Amino acid sequence: MYLLWLRVAAVLYAAASVAVFPAVLYGIVRWKKTCVHLGGMALFFHFVSVVEMLVQAHHWMPVTVREIESLLGLAVACLFFLVWWLYDAISLGIFALPATFFLVFVPALGQDRYTFPSEGVRTSWLVAHIVALLMAYAALCFSLLASMLYLVQERRIKSKPKAGQDSWWAPFEWLPPLDTLERISHATLEFGFPCMTVGLVIGSVLAQETALGAAYFADPKVIASFISWGVYVFLLFVRRSAGLRGRKAAYLSGAVLIVMMAVWAANLFSHVHRFGPQ
């Protein structure tokens, strides 16, 4: 029965993770209340699940990987709500709630290694995983391109060539206004984030059929992927909260792109991302 409560908690954590982004990035009070209510219910069902799981296993300390992940997720959620209750710091939820969801998601799949009903279903999930992550990388590259063009347009405007004087900035007169480039850069970032999140969720399911199983966090590519996801969240948070624009936004986007490229390089050492025979 504890598995049912854990799955309910996972769904509620997912909903709270979605609600926390408009609550933090845009300061919408209604989403803040929704996030707290959904997260609170998730924490309650999660606690019930953990207690019932340990009672059923006849021990009070976690033993298996899934038990450790579930208890770690509970600890993260409890710490977040404690901080929120003491300091009203809902912004920490932008990291804590998705992290809790990812920790709970795999144990909620079941006690044993998850298997797909057919090879066709597995292939469909694999294609969706690859497409979602490629769209995320493409969105980040497009955002970086728009930021770089912002710098070029900014320099062109500041150069202010005299009438009748030739300028080597003339070929860039086709560039859109600065505000348009800024909005394109931010919009592509916001588009790529859910793509990356969906790709990681699907990848977590696919990893369960590998030799690592529930211990897929031991894979270097998986660790690097979650680090890059955290950096992506940090980029969105800083751009929105600090009003980062122009040159600084372009530099920050470039740094995030370097992190993403490092994730691809980590594939050379990965055991999960070799989709051939294990």
- Which of 203, 194, 197, 191 has its CA nearest to residue 129? 203
pLDDT tens for 133-150 read 889 888 888 888 888 888
Q: Residue 128: is it exposed, middle or buried by C-beta count within 10 angstroms (0-12/13-18/19+)? A: middle
pTM for the model stands at 0.77
| Side chain identity, residue 261 | M
DSSP labels for 58-124?
T-SS--SHHHHHHHHHHHHHHHHHHHHHHH--GGGHHHHHHHHHHHHHHHHT-SS----SSHHHHHH
pLDDT at position 119: 82
Closest CA to 135 of 221, 182, 180, 202: 202
110 pLDDT higher than 80: no
pLDDT in tens, 190-243: 888 888 888 888 887 787 766 555 556 666 667 777 777 888 888 788 777 666
Q: Is the per-residue pLDDT at 117 higher than 90?
A: no
pLDDT surpasses 50 at 25? yes
Extended beta strands in the chain, E state: none
Cα gap 11→3, rounded to integer Å: 12
Q: CB–CB of 208/216 below 8 Å?
A: yes
**pLDDT band, very low/low/confident/very high, at 275 (cuts 50, 70, 90):** very low
Measuring CA to CA, which residue among 219, 222, 229, 172 is closest to residue 195? 229
Q: Of residues 245 and 174, which shows the higher confidence score?
A: 174
Of these ranges, 45-49, 126-130, 194-198, the one predicted with the greatest mean pLDDT is 45-49
- 20 burial via Cβ count (<10 Å: 0-12, 13-18, 19+): buried
What is d(CA 111, CA 70) in angstroms, rounded to the nearest whole number?
Answer: 12
Single-letter residue type at 31: W
**Cβ atoms within 10 Å, residue 166:** 8
Do residues 46 and 133 make contact, with C-beta atoms less than 8 angstroms apart? no
